Structure 1
Amino acid sequence: MGSRSLLAGAGQLMKKGGTLPSQTTDRLDTSTLAAADFDVDVRSGFLPPEQPLTRLPGPTFDVQNLEFGDPQPSLWECMLDWAKSIPLTFSSQYSDAAQSAAAQKWRNAIRAMPVTSLTEADMGHIKTVRRACVVLAFLSHFYMHAQIDVGQYETDPDKARSATQDAISKIPWSNLYGLRDSAAYAESYGEYVNKLPSGLAIPFVAVSERLGLPPVLTYATTVLWNWTLKDASKGLTPSNMEIKEMFTNTGSESHFFLTSLLIELQGVEALTLMRISLNEAFAVDKLAEERITCYLKELANVIRKLTVLLSRMQDSCDPDTFYWDIRPWFKTGDATFTESNKSRVPGWILEGVSSERSLWTGPSAGQSTLIHALDLFLDVDHARIKRQPSDVSSGQTNSDSTFMERMQLYMPSHHRAFLRHLQHGISTEPVCGPPKDNGADAEWSDHPIRALVLQCQWSGPNHPLVHAYDEALRALRALRDEHMRIAVQYIVHPARRGPRDIKSSEEQKQKQTQTQDEDVIRGTGGTDLVNFLRVCRKNTTDAMSHFT
């Protein structure tokens, strides 16, 4: 069977939701890019095709009275319900004494919670495992960040010491005596800071390993598996989807996650165009060129739709609310510190699992498999080893490539496999492009789409396929431009303005000076945010047949 007929037949199996039999061929099968092997669905892309489980099955526990009984995973749901009912605040900042006491009681209960795990049978049900991962991720971040601020977010020892003294000064003297409030006293001295109790840590690690994820909050647990349908009969439509779990239960947080969710849903069109384009690329004839030209133009339109969706972030998500109220809950071990040998060291300790500190980073848009797939399909070279960059004097390193690779560690294992297949498992005979106008060496490529572009470049830069390829890249660059604008609006500007509760203009000025003097403003993934986005944009430009 020829390559093209094999691909066409495989595509039919994929459309039916089947998996492909092993066949011997000199060209790797690209139609599996949407097959079950990679947990990519033709209807929903990287989202599950059916509504995620909204609650783990099992009995309801009287957790507020510490009645754990015979613990089952539904206990985690009860603890999450309790956390949301209080509601918990970041760093235990309460003006209401009753709310503060309830939060203290919840933290005590988390530490007393027995270890329970999913059964072997439950581990075989993907919807159950995903729901467990979502619940445990939110519980873990609720617990770690609802504790009293004793300087765990400060790298500077003096600032940390000051925060600890401030926390101790707020404890009533009655708390120094009697066992009832001893936990509050211990918390104020940082006894539990950066320690995830075994009742959460052990099952969280287990379900995370089952899914190929690290035991922290990720894009998958906040977006991909964190939604429900308003009306199950209406199916997957943008107006019928809503976010299930949140930290602040605000409209801003809901809209923030929902924006990413709708981008993933819109991205299904892009994945379909990528698959059929790769199928055609191996035909290497005039008809294939014409079809791929049309597909690339359509892809550019889809990417523009993604850009519009991203721009709508500002419709219902307030920048200050996001930066000061929502974003802090995303912090993980790389952003929290404790004392060790008279120095500040980062990391979370997962009790009952390991004595080594966990240094995972928080959820980030960089963990979206869709954006990585677009880069790989259009052969955007973040490592900057394939072609001459447009600005050789910039002095930039390939740290953005390292970041992009690291973000794949936070994707479900099947989605990582999808990207590996797209990057390394699909290639064609190497093609050499025409000589460069600037005297640089002609480019060679075995990337199916890029190789076809190089081949068409021999006919001139105005070849329809070359123009369509550059059009898709310009659309992707515009998406990155919008991402940079959103990042500046939601992270850079709030960071420089300072907290909203700063009273005097002098204090505001001091805060702005302090922010500008400190390390660069970083994204939730830990990058030098603005610089990273600029370099990604430049790499997208460099992939164009002409640097425009």
Structure 2
Amino acid sequence: MTLSHYHVDPVTGFVPPVPLPSRLPEAFARWDALVPDLSALIRSRRLRGVLRALPMLDIAPLVSVGDRERALLLLTHFANAFVWGGDESDLRLPPSVAVPLCTLAAQMGRPPIAHYATTTLTNWRLVDPTQPLSVDNARTIIRFLGGVDEDWFFVASMGVELAGAPLLPVVANTVRCSREGSDRELAASLEAFAEGMGAVHAALEQVRTWCDPSTYYLRVRPFVAGWPQPGVVYEGVSEEPQRLIGGSAAQSALLQLFDAMLGVHHADHPAGAYLRTVRGFMPPRHRAFVEDTERDTRVRERVKDGSVALQGAYNDALARIAAFRDAHMRLAHDYIVAPSASGRDNVGTGGTALDKFLGGAHRSTTDARV
């Protein structure tokens, strides 16, 4: 299991190790020019007219990985800003955005909507290019309404990925040990994993530092929502409306990879079916890492018949993931349920009922103890 095969960096994990290009080739200058003014165009209700007036551009000149990722980043944000950037949603995306977006997304195996990879994994640039990537040396490339709260929400989410990066080689080693190592070697790898989960948990809590819950709920969350009924028509592509879920941390490969390694099974209802669905929103190589790990791991089988020490190491690893999920539930409550006018809005950006989905995932984790 070679991490580079899955586009995983030993330092930054699922986050690309270098920032995207600061601009696209000259033919796409009109797209780049919208980035600094996107929030002003949304605020003034001019964005839709500007996007409709864009020329139809052929994406064929976009050949490098960086250029293609930047183009997908911009187009997915343009799409969400168009749909949600008015007094009412507009469910007909103009061809100038829809055609290149759908073409590029299909080629890259990704959905034509803003999703976790484009809001979080690639949406960053270095503040000081001479210093390494960290949450204190990064800001988002493109924002909807802008402001420190939106910027920090996505940068801090990337920080969770960075904190989890050292655990990805541990996952690969744990899977290897589950197939060919001793109980002691497997237990040691699980202990290393449990110890590293502390940093991942701490990174999650950092979301609160610079992102106010009410600001997130009112000004950030609406723009990453999925398409409402009956769906969005991608003009120039198809007149059949598409229903797509919104950007969500569930689309991250990180926690799904940890579950796969440990053999945690989520029943179809309420969590399992959704977690499998959102794998389609992951970059294809990241999704392959999760699925290959799920196929190759023997951790749970070994633990069931293993030593007391091995079982203890496994249960401790599960407890650390359960604690992370518990913190995630508290965060979802504070940032979605509490700020809602009724106090009863428990639907996340991915369209799931938060209490059922997050609670179900938490129960599956604790129920996996041996």
Rounded to whole Å, the distance in 1 between the matches of 2:17 and 2:107 is 20
2:329 is equivalent to residue 484 of structure 1: yes
Contact persistence 2:174–2:261 (CA under 8 A): no
2:175 is equivalent to residue 278 of structure 1: yes
2:57 is equivalent to residue 88 of structure 1: no
Deviations 1:472-497 (A, max 9, x none): 000000000000000000001111xx
2:359 is equivalent to residue 530 of structure 1: no
2:234 is equivalent to residue 234 of structure 1: no
Kindly provide the amino acid, as one letter, of the partner of residue 60 in structure 2.
T
RMSD: 1.7
How far did residue 112 of structure 1 move?
Answer: 2.1
Kindly provide the amino acid, as one letter, of the partner of residue 522 in structure 1.
V
Deviations 1:418-458 (A, max 9, x none): 2221122x1xxxxxxxxxxxxxxxxxxxx4111221221xx
Whose RCO is larger (CA < 8 A, sep 6+)?
2
2:230 is equivalent to residue 309 of structure 1: no
Kindly provide the amino acid, as one letter, of the partner of residue 404 in structure 1.
L
Identify the match of residue 294 of structure 2 among 414, 420, 423.
Answer: 423
Match of 2:318 in 1: 473
How far did residue 206 of structure 1 move?
Answer: 1.4
Extract structure 1 runs of 4+ deviating beyond 6 A.
none
Rounded to whole Å, the distance in 2 between the matches of 1:494 and 1:236 is 32
Contact persistence 1:80–1:139 (CA under 8 A): no
SS in 2 for 1:347: coil
2:365 is equivalent to residue 540 of structure 1: yes
Deviations 1:453-472 (A, max 9, x none): 1221xx5xxx2111011000
Identify the match of residue 148 of structure 2 among 243, 248, 251.
Answer: 251
Structure 2 unaligned spans of 5+: none
Deviations 1:232-255 (A, max 9, x none): 222234432222211121111111
Contact persistence 1:408–1:416 (CA under 8 A): yes
Q: How does 1:386-425 map to 2 (within 5 A)?
A: 398-424=269-295
Rounded to whole Å, the distance in 2 between the matches of 1:530 and 1:226 is 29
Rounded to whole Å, the distance in 2 between the matches of 1:317 and 1:82 is 22
How far did residue 87 of structure 1 move?
Answer: 4.6
- TM (norm. structure 1) is 0.65
Determine which structure has more spread, i.e. the larger CA radius of gyration.
1
Kindly provide the amino acid, as one letter, of the partner of residue 53 in structure 2.
A
Rounded to whole Å, the distance in 1 between the matches of 2:301 and 2:166 is 23
Kindly provide the amino acid, as one letter, of the partner of residue 332 in structure 2.
A
Match of 1:381 in 2: 265
Contact persistence 2:231–2:241 (CA under 8 A): yes
Identical counterparts, % of pairs: 30
2:249 is equivalent to residue 365 of structure 1: yes
Match of 2:78 in 1: 139
- TM (norm. structure 2) is 0.95
Match of 1:55 in 2: 23
SS in 2 for 1:357: coil
Q: How many residues align?
A: 370
Match of 2:220 in 1: 326
Kindly provide the amino acid, as one letter, of the partner of residue 449 in structure 1.
V
Rounded to whole Å, the distance in 2 between the matches of 1:35 and 1:325 is 37
Rounded to whole Å, the distance in 2 between the matches of 1:544 and 1:472 is 10
| Structure with greater proportional helix content | 2
